[in-house]
């Protein structure tokens, strides 16, 4: 299998991997407001920003799913650092797209939403790697956690907090126990703030 050596770098010696899922909040409505051409350009900018951060932090892009990504890391700390930097990069992008408050309203262009609000979910655990993809409960849990996040928010599992929780400048705030679609029992989830 050609991808095996490359993928091996993204799990530890025991086969444990940290999975990061991203998703643009409200992407369908955003696409309808912008139209196909403008949304395609916005999506290209989203992909550029995200891929830049993933590469910078040593992640492996498992797949892109329209307006979201699945990324694997051998280290929960690297995944957390990447998630924080992704949100910082989108905050900077969004700040550039927000009109200055000092401008008179009449001088502002017609308001068109071009901000990109990304939600991120993280989980660490053992998973099955096959044909360049990861499968299993740990992966499903990461996806379900991402689905519970708001735009601009990072949510992480208790396992991520435990194994990656000593990252300088990163704090975990208890977001409570959540019922996640298809997952038995309520799961403790933490908001990652920096």
Query: Torsions phi, psi of 95, nearest 5?
Result: -65, -35
Tell me, what's the pLDDT at 54?
98
Question: 90 falls in which pLDDT band (50, 70, 90)?
Answer: very high
| Backbone dihedral region for residue 26 (phi beyond 0: left; psi -120 to 50: alpha; all else: beta) | left
Is the pLDDT at 146 greater than 90? The verdict is yes
For the cut 80, the answer to whether the pLDDT of residue 113 exceeds it is: no
CA atoms within 13 A on the CB side of 27: 15
Q: Over 60: is that where the pLDDT of 103 sits?
A: no
3-class secondary structure, 129: strand
Write out pLDDT tens, residues 21-64: 999 999 999 999 999 999 999 999 999 999 999 999 999 999 99
pLDDT at 6: 43
φ, ψ for residue 181 (rounded to 5)?
-50, 125
Q: Are 150 and 164 in contact (CB under 8 A)?
A: no
Question: Which CATH homologous superfamily contains domain 4-193?
Answer: Nucleotide cyclase, GGDEF domain (3.30.70.1230)
Q: What is the mean pLDDT of residues 75-83?
A: 96
Which pLDDT score, from 0 to 100, does residue 23 have?
97
Residue 49 to residues 43, 54, 67, 81, 82, Cα–Cα distance (Å): 10, 9, 13, 15, 11
Q: Is 144's pLDDT higher than 70?
A: yes
The pLDDT assigned to 5 comes to 38
CA distance 159 to 125: 8
Query: How far apart are the C-alpha atoms of 51 and 70, rounded to whole Å?
Result: 11
Q: 85, exposed or middle or buried, with CB in 10 Å at 0-12, 13-18, 19+?
A: middle
Non-local CB neighbours of 124 within 8 Å, separated by 6+ positions: 16, 17, 18, 19, 76, 79, 138, 157, 159, 160, 163, 164
């Amino acid at each position: 299998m050609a991808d095996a050596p490359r993928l091996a770098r993204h799990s530890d010696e025991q086969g444990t991997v940290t999975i990061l899922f991203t998703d643009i909040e409200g992407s369908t409505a955003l696409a309808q407001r912008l139209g196909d051409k403008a949304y395609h350009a916005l999506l290209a900018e989203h992909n550029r920003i995200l891929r830049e951060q993933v590469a910078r932090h040593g992640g492996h892009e498992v797949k892109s799913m329209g307006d979201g990504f699945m990324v694997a890391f051998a280290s929960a700390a690297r995944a957390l650092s990447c998630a924080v930097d992704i949100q910082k990069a989108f905050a900077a992008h969004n700040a550039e797209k927000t009109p200055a408050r000092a401008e008179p309203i009449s001088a502002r262009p017609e308001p068109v939403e071009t901000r990109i609000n990304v939600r991120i979910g993280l989980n660490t655990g053992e998973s099955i790697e096959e044909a360049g993809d990861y499968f299993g409960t740990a992966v499903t849990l990461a996806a379900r956690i991402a689905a519970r996040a708001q735009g601009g928010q990072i949510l992480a599992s208790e396992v991520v907090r435990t194994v990656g929780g000593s990252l300088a400048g990163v704090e975990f705030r208890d977001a409570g126990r959540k019922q996640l679609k298809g997952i038995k029992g309520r799961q403790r989830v933490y908001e990652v703030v920096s």
